[in-house]
Structure 1
Amino acid sequence: MGDPSLRLSFTIGEVSQILDIPVDTLRYYDKIGLLAPHVRDTNKYRYYDLEQFDSLITIRMLRAMEVPIERIQELLKERELTGIQGLLREKRTDIDRRLVYLNRLSGKLDSLHAKLRKFEDADTIELVRTEPAWVLLTDSIMESGDRKLGSRVQEQVRRIREPKEWVAFCHIISIVSQENLQAGRYHNYLNNGILSTHPMDGEGETFRKLEPFYCARKYVVIGKDDYAKLDEHYEHMKAFIARRGFRIAGHSLEINLYNQYDRHYIEIHIPIAEK
């Protein structure tokens, strides 16, 4: 078989360190026949030729693209480039979609970070123009007597064609009607639902676009059983709107930005217009 020391060969440990591939993974590749070491000496030590680094780097690249081992075996057995070319086109599409997702996620993280800092001053009320959003609305969970409401919502979500990445951009919302808002009935919800900052333009049957609007905005922290404390915040917001010479122009929107076990961090929007 020859003396491995006379060849440009590397032990399995050396290959592992050089290419950052775990030894157990290299043994697994050997076991399933994906890539076996070129030489085994009388002590059953594995030695890899330098030429095999090319194959291992190819395998590592394909695994980084989340190509299954079985598919890699098929590609390495092919004598033409048709298979790998088709795979690369497919992965290019996946990566482009992933880059769009990551860019949106980066913006979401920046926005959420900025909003969470607002909770440091719970007395501040701002006049702002909202960003576009997409909402899935259901009957109020607390007001509805429909025992099948949960099943209907589940079926709506199941029909969404958008990749599940949109879930990372969602918040649970509650809506108080303009009538109840003005009458001080802040816990009689008109709707509950889901708000997505991820564009859901192709899901018109399930999500509707919430166009930007001007509103009074407040960030509120309450205990999980302290929803009654929202009353004083709504009263402060209504007084603020009146002092500024505006009127309530629509339903209020409560967005659950972040939940801990015993604390809820809520962003409240009350639409406004000039009197």
Structure 2
Amino acid sequence: MGESALRLRFTIGEVSQILDIPVDTLRYYDRIGLLPPRERETNNYRYYNLEQFDALITIRMLRAMEVPIERIQELLKENRLDGIQGLLKEKGEEIARRLVYLNRLSDKLGTLQVQLKRFEDTDTVEVVKTEPAWVLLTDSIMESSDRKLGSRVQQQVRRIHSSQEWLAFCHVISIVSKDNLLAGRYHNYLNNGILSTQPMSGDSDTFSRLEPRYCARKYVVIDRDHYAMLDDHYERMKVYIDRRGFRIDGHSLEINLYNQNDKHYIEIQIPVAEK
């Protein structure tokens, strides 16, 4: 059986169609010496041998893992497997971390969809047991006289070992003390900070765990710069708590779930206990 029957060589266009690699990409690989065609005829036609398909598939796999072209060139020139084995181990660990991140992001999206659905009814107050959460608290930004507070908060966030990923799951929070709640001072904040339901066990020196607790909960929509609208919601929550035979048992938590240009969507939690 002759070579033509075996089809041991292929034009650049045929390779492009078979492996779904753009012709321009193949020409680039040729130009930089990464994988030049094995044969080049006098008419400048370039042909790839069948065995080069394996190399091209390997290159595409490495590019899918975002390995730089320069590193791929080094790997293909090596005579040992140490380099590729080390790279695959590193990429495997990176993909595993990414999968954890994507799974957490999927969970977060599902939770946020449920939470945003509840803003269709902002009259309801209910008693619920909250999920554990992790918080980074600062002095109240609105009330602190420390001009360097913003810089200190930035430094705290920079120290988070996985800040870029964790910050994708967080919300800004404000805390009103129990004493201020009882006195009707709903805008004297004890703390500000950020909160997430994603575990932060690796940064226990920066974050504190907020344990599950029973809370009166209400979903509130207010206009931007009109936080006085919260007063009525707090008053209605206090009436509900009293009528249900509960008492306020801790500081309230305002969680900013979503912001638009002119509206804020807030979940209010007030810890409660039986009288």
By the TM > 0.5 criterion, same fold? Answer: yes
Q: What CA distance in whole angstroms lies between the structure 1 residues aligned with 2:178 and 2:244?
A: 19
Specify the alignment match of 1:93 in structure 2: 93
1:223 aligns with 2:246: no
Q: 1: CA distance between counterparts of 2:185 and 2:4?
A: 84
- Do structure 1's residue 198 and structure 2's residue 209 form an aligned pair? no
For the residue of structure 2 that corresponds to 1:134, the secondary structure is strand
Q: Distance in 1 between matches of 2:43 and 2:239?
A: 85
Give per-residue Cα distances to partners, 1:94-114, cap 9 Å, x unaligned.
Answer: 222222222211111111111
Are 2:198 and 1:213 equivalent residues in the alignment? no
Are 1:4 and 1:39, in contact at CA under 8 Å, matched by a contact in 2?
no
* Cα distance in 2, alignment partners of residues 53 and 6 from structure 1: 15
Q: Distance in 2 between matches of 1:273 and 1:60?
A: 60
Cα distance change of structure 1 residues 163 and 70 upon mapping to structure 2, 3 Å threshold: farther
Match of 1:71 in 2: 71
CA contact (8 A) 1:201 1:209 kept: no
Contact persistence 1:171–1:194 (CA under 8 A) = yes
- CA deviations on 1:25-44 (whole Å, 9 max, x unpaired) are 22222222111122334443
- For 1:248, the equivalent position in structure 2 comes to 248
Q: Matches of 1:68 and 1:180 in 2, distance apart?
A: 57
How far apart, in 2, do the equivalents of 1:183 and 1:203 lie? 35
Q: Rate the CA distance shift 1:255–1:62 in 2: closer, same or farther, 3 A.
A: same
The residue that corresponds to 1:232 in the other structure is: 232
TM-score, normalized by length of structure 1? 0.93
Q: Which residue of 2 aligns with 1:145?
A: 145
Amino acid at match of 2:172: I
Residue in 2 that maps onto 1:60: 60
Q: Secondary structure at the match of 2:143?
A: coil
The 1:229/1:209 distance shift into structure 2, 3 A limit, reads same
| Pairwise CA distance, 1:4 | 9.4
How many angstroms apart in 1 are the aligned matches of 2:18 and 2:260?
Answer: 44
For the 8 Å contact 2:157–2:163, the answer to whether it is kept is no
- Give runs of aligned pairs for residues 113-132 of structure 1, distance below 5 A: 113-132=113-132
| Contact persistence 1:215–1:269 (CA under 8 A) | yes
Structure 1: distance between partners of 2:142 and 2:20: 55
Structure 1 stretch 171-180 or stretch 83-92: which is displaced more?
Answer: 83-92
| DSSP 3-state at the match of 1:174 | strand
Q: Tell me the alpha carbon deviations over residues 167-214 of structure 1, each in whole angstroms, 9 at most, x when there is no partner.
A: 111111111111111111111111111112221112122111111111
Runs of 4+ in 1 over 4 A off after TM superposition: 3-7
Task: Letter of the 2:160 partner, please give it.
Answer: I
Q: Which residue of 1 aligns with 2:160?
A: 160
Q: Matched residue pairs, number?
A: 273
Q: Tell whether 2:267 aligns with 1:267.
A: yes
Listed one character per residue, the Cα deviations across residues 64-103 of structure 1 (whole Å, up to 9, x for unaligned) are 1122212111111111211111212222222222222222
Give the Cα separation in 1 of the matches to 2:128 and 2:204.
27
Aligned Cα root-mean-square deviation (Å): 1.9
Which stretches in structure 1 are left out of the alignment for 5+ residues?
none
Amino acid at match of 2:187: H
